[in-house]
């Protein structure tokens, strides 16, 4: 595997539970045990920490443009903070959408 593929895999592996926040109510109703249900505080805290961590790793490895690097870190902080601080169902749907935009 290439380094880019390995990094992409690790980013997804450590932040994929972002998708589970958007339908926590439905998951509870269905009896699913997702990270937001089983470990809500850890799950929420992992989003800003994970997105900030991976933003910094990507900048160190590839980004030579200060403006793009700042944008990547800024978006990681913003999206991660939304997951942590704004906790209603509609906000989680928006945060998940922004998470996907950030991944692009």
**Residue 102 pLDDT:** 87
Encoding tokens for residue 65?
Answer: 């443009």
* DSSP string computed for 10-51: HHHHHHTTHHHHTTHHHHHHHT---HHHHSHHHHHHHHHHHH
| pTM for this predicted structure | 0.88
What are the pLDDT digits (tens) for 48-95? 999 999 999 988 888 788 898 899 999 999 999 999 999 999 999 999
CB-side exposure of 63: number of CA atoms within 13 Å? 16
Q: Give how far the C-alpha of residue 28 lies from the chain's centroid of Cα atoms, to the nearest Å.
A: 21
Encoding tokens for residue 50?
Answer: 């994970």
């Amino acid at each position: 595997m290439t380094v880019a593929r390995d990094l992409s895999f690790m980013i997804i592996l450590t932040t994929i539970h972002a998708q589970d926040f958007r339908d926590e109510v439905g998951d509870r109703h269905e009896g699913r045990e997702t990270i937001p249900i089983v470990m809500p505080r850890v799950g929420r805290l992992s989003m800003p920490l994970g997105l900030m961590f991976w933003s910094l790793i990507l900048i160190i490895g590839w980004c030579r443009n200060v403006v793009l690097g700042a944008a990547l870190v800024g978006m990681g902080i913003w999206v991660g903070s939304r997951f942590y601080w704004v906790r209603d169902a509609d906000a989680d749907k928006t945060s998940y959408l922004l998470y996907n935009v950030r991944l692009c």
